[in-house]
Amino acid sequence: SLFRLKDLEVPKLGDSDVHVKMLAAPINPADINMIQGTYPLLSPLPAVGGNEGVGEVLEVGRRVTALKPGDWVIPADAGLGTWRTRGVFPEEMLLKVPSDIPVLCAATLSVNPCTAFRVLADFESLVPGDSVIQNAANSSVGQAVIQIARASGIKTINVVRDRPDLQKLVERLMALGADHVVTEEMLRKPEMKDIFKSTPRPRLALNCVGGKSTTEMLRHLQPKGTMVTYGGMAKQPVMVPVSAFIFRDVRLRGFWMTQWRKDHAQDQGSVAGMMDALCQLIRRGQLTAPACTEVPLQNYRAALEASMKPFVSSKQILLL
């Protein structure tokens, strides 16, 4: 089909290049969408898949100052092509990360935790005691939102699809620091009132599903609250009752990590600040890698298939 494992020559190291030995790279939904051609980023073909991962620097060109052999690096941007054992990349396409954090944390750092960090920080100024509601709470972004919010004293109301092993999932999310876990169906039930006895109504809703899930979440948002859409897993539009706009003045916004990186390409301070904050959380054990299944590169077909199955809460990580 679309994928082949191929042996390629490693290109010559230019003066501003870095030779990287990849260590681990996850399979994310956006990687699959890019390959299917349904994502706004298209690589000229033939291309190497994968937008995220961690590698170790083997050697650097003579003009490279910020990196040295032994450093760990992650992509500075989407489209790097991380599903490979080695690569030679221009220095500006890489970000240094500390090598004292777990390899799976580093491999899954550049997309989902960054997305979680930004959506929590950039739309509402939340303070300890505030709450957030999110759907697809068991996704990798969802798991990161739970942990980052918990570390900042923000409560989370987490919406998941009903499933056969629901209780196990609820326990896993509670162990990460979730305050409440509810199913899509429960959003319509009177029991939601019990949650709001102990937890304030959310000022922020995070949506990566679309369709009915979104409409149900919106009901619980505070007046003047914001809903941020960063994905559309149901492949259905976001439907908003007119009354929510008129009588509650809710705000609807969108977020795309790739665009944020473009907008902040000249602002290395905000990128470094975010990466430092996330690495601190990881070191303190307050932010862990999402539930992962490690797969050797040879078995990439099985990993791709597993990553497209419904209800799989475990992220496939290629070990390179």
Q: Which residues are catalytic?
A: 39
Three-state DSSP at 76 gives: coil
The one-letter amino acid code at 88 reads V
Partners of residue 183 on adjacent β-strands: 160
Query: What CA–CA distance (Å, rounded) separates 59 from 74?
Result: 15
Three-state DSSP at 89 gives: strand
Q: Which string of DSSP letters, residue by residue, matches 92-147?
A: GGEEEE-TTS-HHHHHT-TTHHHHHHHHHHSSS---TT-EEEESSTTSHHHHHHHH
Query: What CA–CA distance (Å, rounded) separates 58 from 68?
Result: 8
Q: How far is CA 124 from CA 83, 99, 209, in A?
A: 36, 33, 20
Three-state DSSP at 244 gives: helix
Q: Which string of DSSP letters, residue by residue, matches 195-237?
A: HHHHSPPPSEEEESSBTHHHHHHHTTSPTT-EEEE---TT-B-
